Amino acid sequence: MTSLPLQSFSPPEFLNTLLSNSVSMGAVVMGTLLFVFAFWALYTIVAIYHWLKYSHASAVAFPAIGIHLFISFGLIVYALSGTVII
């Protein structure tokens, strides 16, 4: 068996052709970001509903929701900070 030199991974050629011909990379990234942000929004709404309904009138509820929204928006802004949308 012949030994081959190690090569770094590269995606199959047909995949590159398919992506470049039909869907732009920017659209794929945008779609992925939209899906993640929609999931985040839904999860956050459900969690906030539980906090407000079942938090036993705790003073922790609003700070917890506020911190979550603050950090999440920071991360969302960071994720969108590049010129991803082509």
Partner 1 sequence: MKEFELEPGEEVVLLARKHWLLFLSELLPYAIIAVLPFSLPKFLPLFSVSAPYAEFFTYTTPLARAALGVWLLITWTGCWGTFTKYFLNAWVLTSHRIVDIKQRRFFSREVSSLFLSRVQDVTTEVNGVLPSLLNMGDIKVQTAAEDVEFVMHGIPRPEQMRDIILKYVHEHEAPPTPQT
Residues that bind partner 1 (CB under 8 A): 6, 8-9, 25, 29, 32-33, 36, 40, 43-44, 46-47, 50-51, 53-58, 60, 64, 68, 71-72, 75-76, 78-84
Nearer to partner 1, 12 or 66 (CB): 66
Q: How far is the CB of 17 from partner 1 (least distance, A)?
A: 20
Q: From its phi and psi, is residue 57 left (phi > 0), alpha (psi between -120 and 50) or beta?
A: left
Question: At closest approach, how far in Å is the CB of 18 from partner 1?
Answer: 19
Whole-angstrom distance, CA of residue 51 vs CA of residue 66: 12
Q: How far is the CB of 20 from partner 1 (least distance, A)?
A: 15
Amino acid at 18: L
Q: What angle do CA 77, 62, 71 make, to 5 degrees?
A: 20
